[in-house]
């Protein structure tokens, strides 16, 4: 087994042990908690909810950081979903998965319909089937410092529109890319992600809704993110040059170093350069290579076959990780 897979397996084991021993409670930002038709302690809905919340984190850890499923039947059936955000690492993800259920039940006691967004994950549950339909709620708004508005919007608008077209068609409903910021050595980075229960149409609608808000929310900010219960968009300017250079560098040389670095770490080993090829480009004795416009998203996923793994407490299961918990 490759070292990376061994690490993921070890993290998954740590997560299961932590979940069983009582993980650190994680609190959401401004959760949505229903106030009518509340359940009571000892009710069948409460029992189903406890069963679902106990199973969701482990099921998501086995299924690429996403899972949606149900518990119970009839009027007391509970529908639930949990997912990590793609730009969070495995440790942050595991902590959020393990601690989110306790955090939300403490803030929303008795609520039958709850949506909660955390820094590293999102959690929802309801007494009605909300799967495949995007939530209209906008939760987190995160700002950065400021930069020239015109240049930023030129780069960001085309970049984010590409992401909105790409993410709905990907297996994991995630896409990321970067685009050059004209007139500087910096690049604009973008990330778009939807919960994997959505249809491609609903994912596109959610992303485009948030992307349309970016110019107003972040007119000239170096970074900004909008997190909701169904999708997430993020944009940031990545500084290419070390600040210790104080702007004293050759732009062409900077571009060459960055491109060669990406070339040497190409995800397809067969497309990486030899040492001689890399040196020739660095010496400006050969042209820059043509690299793909998009690189894989760093989502810290388990091996591909884990996407089809079904937890021992569930029945059914597919690439989205949907299952039904038995009473």
Tell me, what's the pLDDT at 244? 55
Quick one: pLDDT at residue 12?
35
The alpha carbon of residue 304 and the mean position of all alpha carbons in its chain are separated, in whole angstroms, by 17
| pLDDT profile of the chain (327 residues), mean per 10 | 34 36 76 93 96 92 92 96 90 92 91 93 95 81 63 81 92 86 74 95 94 85 85 76 50 65 74 86 77 51 39 37 46
Beta bridge partners of 116: 123
Half-sphere exposure of 179 (CA within 13 A, CB side): 17
CA distances from 50 to 45, 312, 324 (A): 9, 17, 14
Quick one: pLDDT at residue 202?
96
pLDDT at residue number 13: 31
pLDDT computed for residue 271 by the predictor: 79
Q: Cα–chain-centroid distance for residue 81?
A: 14
**In the prediction, which pLDDT does 195 show?**
95
Given this model, what pLDDT does residue 193 score? 95
CB count, 10 Å around CB of 327? 12
Per-residue CA distances from 265 to 8, 261, 278, 280 (Å)? 21, 6, 12, 17
CB 179 within 8 A of CB 188: yes
Bridge partners (DSSP) listed for residue 189: 178, 236
Contacts for 267 with CB less than 8 Å, ≥ 6 apart: 295, 296
Q: What pLDDT sits at residue 11?
A: 34
- Name the phi and psi angles at 184, rounded to 5: -150, 175
Q: Are 318 and 308 in contact (CB under 8 A)?
A: yes
* DSSP summary character for residue 194: E
Token reading at 70: 């149900």
**Could you tell me if residue 245 is left (phi over 0), alpha (psi between -120 and 50 degrees) or otherwise beta?**
alpha
In the chain the domains, ranked by start, together with CATH numbers, are: 29-126 (3.30.430.20), 138-238 (3.30.430.20), 244-283 (no CATH)
């Amino acid at each position: 087994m490759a070292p990376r897979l061994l690490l993921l397996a070890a993290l998954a084991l740590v997560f299961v042990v932590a979940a069983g021993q009582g993980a650190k409670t994680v609190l959401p930002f401004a959760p949505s908690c229903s106030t009518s038709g509340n359940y009571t302690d000892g009710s069948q809905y409460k029992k189903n909810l406890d069963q679902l919340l106990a199973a969701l984190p482990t099921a998501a850890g086995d299924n690429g950081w996403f899972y949606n499923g149900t518990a119970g039947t009839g009027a007391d059936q509970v529908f639930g979903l949990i997912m990590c955000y793609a730009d969070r690492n495995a440790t942050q993800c595991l902590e959020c998965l393990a601690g989110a259920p306790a955090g939300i039940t403490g803030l929303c006691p008795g609520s039958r319909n709850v949506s909660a967004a955390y820094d590293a994950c999102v959690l929802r549950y309801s007494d009605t089937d909300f799967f495949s339909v995007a939530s209209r709620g906008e939760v987190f708004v995160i700002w950065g410092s400021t930069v020239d508005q015109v240049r930023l919007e030129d780069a960001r608008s085309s970049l984010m529109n590409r992401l909105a077209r790409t993410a709905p068609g990907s297996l994991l409903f995630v896409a990321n890319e970067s685009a050059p910021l004209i007139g500087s050595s910096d690049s604009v980075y973008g990330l778009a992600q939807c919960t994997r229960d959505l249809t491609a149409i609903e994912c596109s609608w959610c992303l485009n809704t948030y992307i349309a808000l970016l110019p107003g929310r972040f007119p000239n900010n170096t970074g900004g993110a909008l997190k909701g219960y169904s999708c997430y968009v993020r944009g940031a300017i990545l500084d290419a040059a070390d600040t210790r250079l104080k702007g004293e560098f050759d732009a062409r040389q900077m571009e060459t170093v960055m491109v060669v670095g990406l070339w040497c770490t190409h995800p397809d080993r067969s497309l990486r350069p030899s040492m001689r090829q890399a040196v020739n480009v660095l010496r400006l004795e050969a042209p820059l290579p043509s690299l793909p416009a998009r690189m894989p998203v760093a989502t810290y996923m388990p091996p591909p076959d884990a996407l089809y793994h079904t937890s021992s407490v569930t029945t059914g299961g597919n690439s989205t990780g949907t299952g039904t918990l038995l009473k």
